């Protein structure tokens, strides 16, 4: 089976071409693939009757998820190269997404509209999603509290911090990822506002850990920042592995993500 190893702003993927050969890995197999190929996510490219492809997504821990922004850009790049089109459609469990050519190895994806209702994220109880009741540290003096939450096809909690490097993210991330407020777990973003058009972001990804970049996390951070009046509705997101440009369009409520993709390896692997 053909396999591509790619990254989007440092976010690493192993992409299996399952359009002619079925690919249904077990949890243990996904974990082994991710470890062997040093991938944050394992993706399967499948046939779809009405779209250019269907994309299936597993995190490095073997859990299957519904959305992956940078993964969509990587798969979009493959399909754009393969078809010669300027725009392709990709179906996921979460939504139908559109990927567009934006330059040499640069892809834009229409990520759809953010989900802002507490039940849509989902939370285990009703509360204001602009700052939920999550605290890290002593109860009377927490050093992190009240993250904003949103779903970009997957749940995100975003803490606004003065310095992203001041926090032990591998220690804090798991505490928030499976906090009782998040019945399906959550991705955890640490967002430092540089100015109204720039955000420095690090993300603890649900099921993958601290990654060099997270596309849906970048979209979530921009949406939460714009809702709080901290930034404009378009900004540059600086992640550990590169930069993404995110725009939350007021005209149609949709979030557009643009950034680089890189091919690292193309090979054939036995099933």
Copy the structure tokens of residue 48: 């779809």
**3-state secondary structure labels for all residues of 122-189:** CCCCCCCCCCCCCEECCCCCCCEECCEEEECCCEEEEEECCCHHHCCHHHHHHHHHCCCCCCCCCEEE
The residues that bridge with 58 in the sheet, in sequence order, are: 42, 64
Cα(77)–Cα(80) distance, integer angstroms: 5
68 flagged as catalytic: yes
Choose, from 33, 68, 97, 144, the residue flagged as catalytic: 68
Please give the angle made by the CA atoms of 124, 128 and 133, to the nearest 5 degrees. 60
Token pair 């997101």 in the structure block, residue = 237
The answer to whether the CB of 81 falls within 8 A of the CB of 88 is no
CA distances from 169 to 159, 177, 190 (A): 11, 11, 8
CA distances from 219 to 87, 123, 168, 233 (A): 20, 19, 23, 11
Choose, from 88, 134, 161, 214, the residue flagged as catalytic: 214
The answer to whether the CB of 90 falls within 8 A of the CB of 99 is yes
Cα(267)–Cα(147) distance, integer angstroms: 42
219 flagged as catalytic: no
Mutual orientation of helices 215-227 and 69-83 as an angle, nearest 10°?
120
Catalytic site positions: 68, 214
């Amino acid at each position: 089976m053909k396999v591509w190893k790619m990254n989007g702003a440092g976010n690493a993927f192993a992409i299996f071409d399952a359009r002619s050969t079925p690919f249904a890995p077990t949890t243990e197999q996904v974990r082994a693939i991710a470890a062997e190929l040093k991938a944050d996510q394992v993706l399967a490219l499948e046939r779809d009757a009405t779209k250019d492809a269907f994309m299936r997504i597993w995190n490095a821990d073997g859990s299957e998820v519904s959305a992956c922004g940078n993964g969509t850009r990587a798969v979009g790049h493959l399909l754009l190269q393969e078809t010669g089109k300027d725009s392709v459609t990709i179906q996921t469990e979460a939504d139908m997404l559109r990927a567009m050519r934006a330059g040499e190895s640069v892809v834009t994806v229409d990520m759809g509209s953010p989900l802002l209702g507490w039940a849509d994220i989902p939370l285990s109880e009703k509360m204001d999603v602009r700052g939920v009741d999550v605290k890290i540290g002593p109860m009377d003096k927490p050093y992190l509290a009240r993250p904003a939450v949103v779903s970009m096809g997957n749940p995100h909690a975003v803490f606004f911090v003065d310095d992203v490097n001041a926090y032990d993210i591998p220690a804090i991330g798991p505490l928030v990822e499976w906090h009782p407020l998040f019945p399906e777990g959550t991705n955890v973003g640490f967002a430092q506002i540089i100015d109204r058009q720039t955000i420095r972001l690090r993300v603890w990804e649900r099921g993958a850990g601290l990654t060099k970049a997270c596309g849906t996390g970048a979209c979530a951070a921009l949406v939460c920042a714009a809702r709080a009046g901290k930034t404009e509705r378009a900004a540059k997101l600086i992640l550990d592995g590169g930069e993404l440009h995110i725009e939350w369009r007021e005209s149609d409520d949709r979030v557009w993500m643009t950034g680089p993709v890189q091919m690292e390896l193309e090979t054939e692997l036995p099933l």
